[in-house]
Structures are given as C-alpha cells and as structure tokens.
Structure 1
Amino acid sequence: MAVINNAVKVSVIIPTYNRAERICRAVDSVLGQSFDNFECLVVDDGSTDDTAQRLADYTDPRLKVLWQENRGVSAARNFGIANSGGSFIALLDSDDQWVEHKLAKQLSFMEEGGFEISQTDEIWIRKGKRVNQCKKHEKPEGMFFDRSLEMCMVSPSCVIFSRRFWDELGPFDEDMAACEDYDLWLRAGLKYPVGLLRERLTVKHGGRPDQLSNSVGCLDLYRMYAIVKLLNEGTLPAEARSMALAELQRKAAFYIGGCRKRGRDGQAARIERLVRDIVSGNPVSPAEIIKS
C-alpha cells in the first residue's frame, strides 16, 4: 500500500486504453483545474495506438504516466490508486472531462459536509450533441442502497472519495469485465452517505462503440454477480437482504426471458437454476453467474 503523501491533497486516476485521440482532452481538463494541489496518474492499460507518444509531450510534474499490460479498467484503476499518495481520490474516465472548478468546489463541499464520498451532477454529450438525462438517471444523495441495486447511481468521472473509504471498501473487482463501479458503490451503499454537489462539473461523452456499456454483452449478468457477492458475505441486514434477493430475481427474470427469445434455452435454464439455489439459501459462487 502506498504511503500517503500529506503534501498531495488529491490523486486523480485516469485509466486509458487506445484512446489517444481523447486522452489529452481529459488530461488537459485536470491540469487546468483552479485547485492545483493534486497529482494526476494516467494508467495506460497496454495501449497499442500512439497514447504513449501523446502523453510524453506533457511536462507538467503533476502528471505521472504508468503502464501495465492490458488487464482491464478495474486493474488499471487499482494500479493507479496503489501508486498514488493523495488523501482523496478522484476518478476520471479517459473519454470524459471536468470543468475548471470541479476539484475546488467538490473538495470544499465534502469538507463542509463531512463526506467520505461525493459526486457532482454532469453534462451528457452523445455523438457530439448535448442531451437531457432521463428521470431515472437523476442522481440521489445520502443512503440509497435500494436504488443502487437497480442500476449504477454513482458516475466514476463525477466521484471523489477519501483514502479511508478506499481502504475499507476497495479495490475494484478485477474479475468483472463491466459494472465494476456498480459493485463498489453497492458495497458502499449501506456504510457511507453519498454527498451530491448539484452543479454540472463533469462532462461525460458517450454514444461510441468502444465504451464498455456497448462492447460487453449483458451488463445485468455482472450486476447479478455483484449482488451474489454481497449476499454471500452474510453481513446484510434482513431488510437489505430481502431487497437484494428481490432485485436479483427481477434481473434474472429479464435476462432469462431474453435468452429464451433468442433460443438460448440452456443458458436460461442455467441462470434460473442458480438463482433458485441462491434464493433457497444454497451456496453459489458468483463466478458461476458470469461463466460462459
């Protein structure tokens, strides 16, 4: 574990893979922050494009570039955080960006409210055009385990959390090809209230095929995996356990129905059997859920 350098307030972690044409926009938005007591760690997850060459052009000493063989976003974030020294950790995806006062305003908000984790509101850009968010994507605040079960309610590029938070609840699960953030926020949902700074200080760019949400098969399989992990820990209060089981069954029913429509009766039967075992209290490994 890295020794915390008290001279560094925030460690900004940016994982990236083959996004040379976008990574500089993300980095520039960090280096241009009005708050300047930070380090920015870009973790190049084995890119094969000219990411390394573009990052080599920077001379700002606050920027550090780390490289690892391609292991996925969870491993990249974990690697960056393990090599960081800030008392707070801010995440930023390599295709997103921050507005100039994001760090300054959010850190002040967290310190005034005593939050260990917080997020900001965000601007959505899809295929180059600003779009409005649906009602269901409105960010909640406080304790919202119930809503976190349904879908991911914390945006990585919007979030800052304390080193204490990370030491207790990290790391990201490196066995998850997607929804690794859903898994972390779900585990956090019963322990820490999430502060919400209601200002649009993050710009999220989407609508491209290289995004995990578009390139990974069924995201609900990974969400079910995360719920089973939580159930297996055996520490959920009775009400939370009931909510988790109900959401697991709901997601499974949706997934099973989709499998049967596509003629994947064997997969439908397999998931149906696993969920039945879980509800009955029989032990099931989370890995069985996402087994191909």
Structure 2
Amino acid sequence: MDNLSVAPKVSVIIPTYNREKAVCRAVDSVLEQKFIDFECIIVDDGSTDNTSEKLAEYSDSRLKVLLQENRGVSAARNFGIANSCGRFIALLDSDDEWLADKLAKQVPFMEEGGFEISQTDEIWIRKGKRVNQCKKHEKPEGMFFDRSLSMCMVSPSCVMFSRALWDELGPFDEDMPACEDYDLWLRVGLKYPVGLLRERLTVKHGGRPDQLSNSVGCLDLYRIYAIAKLLYSGKLSVEEQTMAVEELQLKAGFYVGGCRKRGREAQAARIERLVQDIVLGKQVSPAEIIEK
C-alpha cells in the first residue's frame, strides 16, 4: 500500500489448506471483531476442496484471498505477511477462532505495555468438547527461552507481534513442514519478552486427523533442527548454549529411541552421529538433520 497513512493497524494472516468449513468459522470470527482497523489476508495453500469457492462468497473489503501452490504453512504465512501492511501482525490458524473482543483488547495491551510480541490465553476444544489444559501448558510471560526449548510456549492463533520484530527475526523457515513456530519463538525468546494478556480470547480446536501434529512424522526431528540452527548461529551466551545442548541431547535421545523401536536403525545412527558432532563442537550444517 503506497499511502501508509491509510494502512490498517493490524494485519491478520490465515493460512489454509483443504479446510473449507473450518476456515469460514475462522474468517467469521475475524469479521465479528469489535476492533475494526484490520486487514485479513487468507492464503489458500493449494487447496483441492471447495475452499476457494467458499472464500469467494465473502464481500468484505478488508478481506484479501491469495493463492499459491501447496508449499506448506510456513510459506503460506510468509507469503501473507509479505503482502500485508499493518503495524501489528496477528496470526490465526484456519481451524481456530477468536472471541469478538480479542483484537480490541490485545492491541491496547501491546501499545500500553510497549510489547513487540504478546499472546492471549486460550480455550481448548478437543473433538468438540472443552478440555482443561495441563499445568505444563500454562502460558508464561516475559523472558522464557529456557522453557521454550522444552516445548512451544507461544500459540500461533494467540500471538500478535510488531512488524519491526518480524523484519528483524522472521521469516518462518520454509524447510520445516512442522514446528516452524517453535523455531521462530526460540529466536524471539532470545531477545524480547512476551507479554501475556490473561484472558481466554482464542478458541483452539484440536483432535482432528488433518492437524500437522498428526500428519507429520516425529516432530522432535524438526525441534532438533531448530536447536541446531541456534547453536550454529553463534548468537547464544554460554548459559544459553549449555541449555540448548542439554535439550538437544534430550530430544535426540527420544527421537533416536523411537527410530530404533520402529526398525529405522540407519536414521537413528545418522541423527545420533550428527548430534554428537554438534555437542563436540564440530561444524555440522543443520540442514543435514532434515535432509531426505
């Protein structure tokens, strides 16, 4: 957009693939927001169902639908953000939804708190029923790089971040079919505190076979790759490097053990060797971890 004075304050990015029913629920929840200064960019990642036809039924001028060949969620989000112009960027997965005052509360929370990134709390729905979160899934706030190494502590559908943060630390790694958010939040967690708006303003739906966590192989392989990239970057302090190496070894142990249980001895030996080389300080390209 040439005239930045008319740019919306928030760019909402929704990547979707073959979710003709769920994506309409997500889009509707954006259009029902009490905060109206936004654009909503939906990236259809090569859907083969009726997604494009369903999205074509909307006539709201704040909506923009972009099409691309199927390249995965990282590429879809990157493409959407590259074609957006808001000061803040809010992500929403196409199978989730927002409560009507999500943006109305999170935007001032960001501005008044001076945050470059924040997230809301969320409601979990599994197979149509509300479930309680385990204590380990409680969202932290501030600087929590150590906890982020263990598991992804920022939920994409809850998060909002500044364009300045994205320009500095993005994009999502398009070589990762999953855990791309874990990878980005690790980089963010080294530098910026994450604000937490302690209200359940996001509804996260799960328990379906089309979710990435169910359709992609062992996720620990991609977490190992993300940690290896951090170690390879040379940007960690001694303390951060120690924590990263410990978590790398832990996740590698789980992954290697799983490979051996399934008779994948060659893959187990390969990852075991690469991780050992990384621990010993040898030069290992992180790309070797996920090479096919």
Q: Alpha-carbon deviation of 1:82?
A: 0.3
- Residue number in structure 2 paired with 1:224: 224
After TM superposition, the runs of 4+ consecutive aligned structure 1 residues lying more than 2 A away are 2-7
Identity of aligned residues (%): 79
In the alignment, the residues of structure 2 paired with residue 155 and residue 49 of structure 1 have an alpha-carbon distance, to the nearest angstrom, of 27
Deviation track 1:95-141 (CA, whole Å, cap 9, x = no partner) reads: 00000000010111111110000000000000000000011110000
- Residue number in structure 2 paired with 1:64: 64
- 1:30-69 alignment to 2 at 5 Å? 30-69=30-69
Aligned pair 1:212/2:238, yes or no?
A: no
- Residue number in structure 2 paired with 1:171: 171
- 1:1-292 alignment to 2 at 5 Å? 5-7=4-6, 8-292=8-292
In the alignment, the residues of structure 2 paired with residue 3 and residue 243 of structure 1 have an alpha-carbon distance, to the nearest angstrom, of 45
Aligned residue-pair number: 291
CA contact (8 A) 1:6 1:87 kept: no
Structure 1: gaps spanning 5 or more residues: none
CA contact (8 A) 1:6 1:86 kept: no
Q: Alpha-carbon deviation of 1:4?
A: 7.9
Q: Alpha-carbon deviation of 1:77?
A: 0.3
In the alignment, the residues of structure 2 paired with residue 3 and residue 42 of structure 1 have an alpha-carbon distance, to the nearest angstrom, of 21
Root-mean-square deviation (CA), in Å? 1.0
> What SS does the corresponding residue of 2:61 show, helix, strand or coil?
coil
In the alignment, the residues of structure 2 paired with residue 3 and residue 144 of structure 1 have an alpha-carbon distance, to the nearest angstrom, of 38
Instruction: Pick which of 176-185 and 254-263 moved more.
Output: 254-263
Q: Quickly say closer, same or farther: Cα 1:204–1:240, change in 2 above 3 A.
A: same
Instruction: Pick which of 105-114 and 94-103 moved more.
Output: 105-114
TM-score normalised by L of structure 1:
0.98
CA contact (8 A) 1:118 1:159 kept: yes
Q: Quickly say closer, same or farther: Cα 1:54–1:271, change in 2 above 3 A.
A: same
One-letter code of the match for 2:261?
K
> What SS does the corresponding residue of 1:218 show, helix, strand or coil?
coil
CA contact (8 A) 1:4 1:85 kept: no
Deviation track 1:14-66 (CA, whole Å, cap 9, x = no partner) reads: 00000001111000000100000000000000111111111111111001101
In the alignment, the residues of structure 2 paired with residue 3 and residue 146 of structure 1 have an alpha-carbon distance, to the nearest angstrom, of 41
> What SS does the corresponding residue of 1:174 show, helix, strand or coil?
coil
In the alignment, the residues of structure 2 paired with residue 232 and residue 5 of structure 1 have an alpha-carbon distance, to the nearest angstrom, of 38
> What SS does the corresponding residue of 2:4 show, helix, strand or coil?
coil
TM-score normalised by L of structure 2:
0.98
In the alignment, the residues of structure 2 paired with residue 113 and residue 280 of structure 1 have an alpha-carbon distance, to the nearest angstrom, of 42
One-letter code of the match for 1:5?
L
Q: Quickly say closer, same or farther: Cα 1:128–1:256, change in 2 above 3 A.
A: same
Instruction: Pick which of 2-11 and 56-65 moved more.
Output: 2-11
Structure 2: gaps spanning 5 or more residues: none
In the alignment, the residues of structure 1 paired with residue 67 and residue 36 of structure 2 have an alpha-carbon distance, to the nearest angstrom, of 24
Q: Quickly say closer, same or farther: Cα 1:163–1:3, change in 2 above 3 A.
A: farther
In the alignment, the residues of structure 2 paired with residue 45 and residue 112 of structure 1 have an alpha-carbon distance, to the nearest angstrom, of 35
